Amino acid sequence: MSSRSKILKGAAVLSIGQIGAQAASFARNLIVARLLTKGDYGIAATFALTMSAAELMSDMAVDRLLVQDRDGNDPDMQATAQFIQFVRGLCSGMVLFVVAGFIAQLFQQPQTTWAYRWLALVPVMRGLMHLDFRRVQREMRYWPSVVTDTLPQILTALAAWPIVKITGSYAAMIWLILGQTASMLVLSHVLAKRRFSLGWTRQYGMRAIRFGWPLMLNGILLFAALQGDKVIVGANYSEEELADYYIAFTVALLPSLVLTKVLGSALLPWLSQAQSDVTLLRSRSALAMQSVSAVSLGVTCILVLAGSSLITICYGTKYANAGVYTAIFGAMTGIRLMRGSPTLVALATAKTMIPLYTNIARSLALIPVAYFALKHADLRWLAWAGLGGEAVSFLLCSLLCSHQCNVPRRTFLAPFALVTATCLCAYAASRTVLSQSLSHSDLLTMLVQIAAVTLASFGCTLAFAALFPQIRSHLGSVYSSLRHRMRIGHTVSRS
């Protein structure tokens, strides 16, 4: 099998695994949200925020080092990486246990201190995981990683209903998180080809630290960008308000998590092949940006025009108030998806500081978020501040990528302008026609929303094809290929 075929097959396996894992995670959270009271789900959301902080803010990325480093296949390198991971997990668990009372006070829930102390087991268990399922990715073997990441999510989704029924409170989320982590720990050892060992080789250890500390700093910034506003909401608003805010963000973020993984797996190798050819890099960057923007526009239109109906259908009427945030978070998701294109161009050309700078810019949005929270303003102001930070980070990423990667600014800014204009029109429609004149009929509202999404997606496809020659040419070749295959199939069936 050629290297290109291996890359495509690996991208497909990773994409399927990512979609399965995110779908199972969404199903688990959906079950918990529908069965728990709104206040209990708000408390459960703080557990997810705490674990996200513990994971991202101490991530040395030693598993990625085993894949990327020239000596990643060396057993001594793997033993050193597993030792660093173990120390990191043990330290994170001890810190989380000690500060459990402070975290409970921060979220205005002192009675939940015990729960945060139980959560301290999660980083310890992660520290004991076998990294062989990551190492074998060097050989383009991705299924152990997919199984280890996806199967625990599926198991906890299946266990969610009985556990919530047994506990009847936010404690269900604690046991689900612990069960998922324990399943990952067991699977990592069951699927390993090598014996588990901890060791220290100074040469490899120092290399891992040099590799990991910038990524750990980037993880802190990433947590601030993605979850910082939820922490601020949890510290300054009620658990019911946090539940609405968190659910709206989760629904909007889900497409971004899945599509970022899928598009990254497909586009990064393709862009990397052109890094030494400026003309080819520019052409591929343009097609990548236009394609990602078209996908982003479809996702954003769905969330802006029909997001509130999706939340009501999935989570029930008790979370209807969350619908007021979905349009804003939908636009934020669209911009985050588009930012993935210049970010991939930067990674393909080894300009790895660009994502760090853009995450710094995105994190600065926490300043107005904190200001509005201290004023106890409407939560929509906090969401708008986050949207503004996302737009600024996209513009900065595009300008830096244009300057350092020798790609014209118009490559990124023109599709962004088209998507922004269309989303503003969709938002205006959702705030006027769809929310007022049709409010008397939920069914009629949903039908009109579906029609509006369909028309918007079709119109935007035509707009992209008319304005951008790269994607027009690509769509034409895809259409010609489909017609050719249909013609062959028809000929074979007649014969």
Interior/surface letters 35-62, b for 16+ CB within 10 angstroms, e for the rest? bbebebbbbbbbbbbbbbbbebbbbbbb
Count how many residues are written for the chain.
495
Among the residue ranges 18-27, 51-60, 453-462, the one predicted with the least confidence is 453-462
| CB-CB contact of 63 with 89 (8 Å) | no
Amino acid at 177: I
Burial class for 426, CB neighbours closer than 10 Å (0-12, 13-18, 19+): buried
Among the residue ranges 59-73, 263-277, 470-484, the one predicted with the least confidence is 470-484
Q: Comparing C-alpha atoms, which of 197, 163, 192, 198 is closest to residue 178? A: 163
For residue 191, give both structure tokens: 């699927």
The C-alpha angle with vertex 281 and arms to 3 and 473, in degrees rounded to 5, equals 90
Cα–Cα distance between 11 and 272 in angstroms, integer? 15
| CB-CB contact of 44 with 173 (8 Å) | yes
Cα–Cα distance between 17 and 35 in angstroms, integer? 27
Task: Note the pLDDT tens digit of each residue in 459-490.
Answer: 555 555 555 665 555 555 544 555 555 555 55
Cα–Cα distance between 332 and 64 in angstroms, integer? 28
| CB-CB contact of 401 with 342 (8 Å) | yes
Average pLDDT over residues 341-366: 84
* The model's pTM: 0.78
Cα–Cα distance between 342 and 271 in angstroms, integer? 11
Cα–Cα distance between 20 and 18 in angstroms, integer? 5
pLDDT, position 492: 47
Contacts of 478 (CB under 8 A, 6+ apart): none
Cα–Cα distance between 204 and 198 in angstroms, integer? 13
pLDDT, position 471: 56
Beta-strand (E) ranges in 56-212? Answer: none
DSSP per residue, 202-238:
HHHHHHHHHHHHHHHHHHHHHHHHHHHHHHHHHHHS-
Task: Note the pLDDT tens digit of each residue in 196-206.
Answer: 999 998 888 88
**Residue 95, Cβ neighbours under 10 Å: how many?**
14
Please tell me which of 14-23, 96-105, 422-431 the model is most confident about, judged by mean pLDDT: 96-105
For residue 451, give both structure tokens: 């029609």
Interior/surface letters 231-260, b for 16+ CB within 10 angstroms, e for the rest? bbbbebbebbbbbbbbbbbbbbbbbbbbbb
Cα–Cα distance between 323 and 311 in angstroms, integer? 7
For residue 25, give both structure tokens: 């995670």
pLDDT band at 7 (very low <50, low <70, confident <90, very high): low
Contacts of 116 (CB under 8 A, 6+ apart): 47, 50, 96, 100, 101, 103, 104
Among the residue ranges 54-68, 284-298, 423-437, 448-462, the one predicted with the least confidence is 448-462
Average pLDDT over residues 278-301: 83
Average pLDDT over residues 398-425: 85
Q: Comparing C-alpha atoms, which of 175, 224, 256, 239 is closest to residue 45? A: 239
Q: What is the dihedral of CA 82, 18, 460, 287, to 10 degrees?
A: 50
Average confidence score pLDDT of the chain: 81
Cα–Cα distance between 261 and 477 in angstroms, integer? 25
Q: Comparing C-alpha atoms, which of 166, 222, 47 is closest to residue 118? A: 47
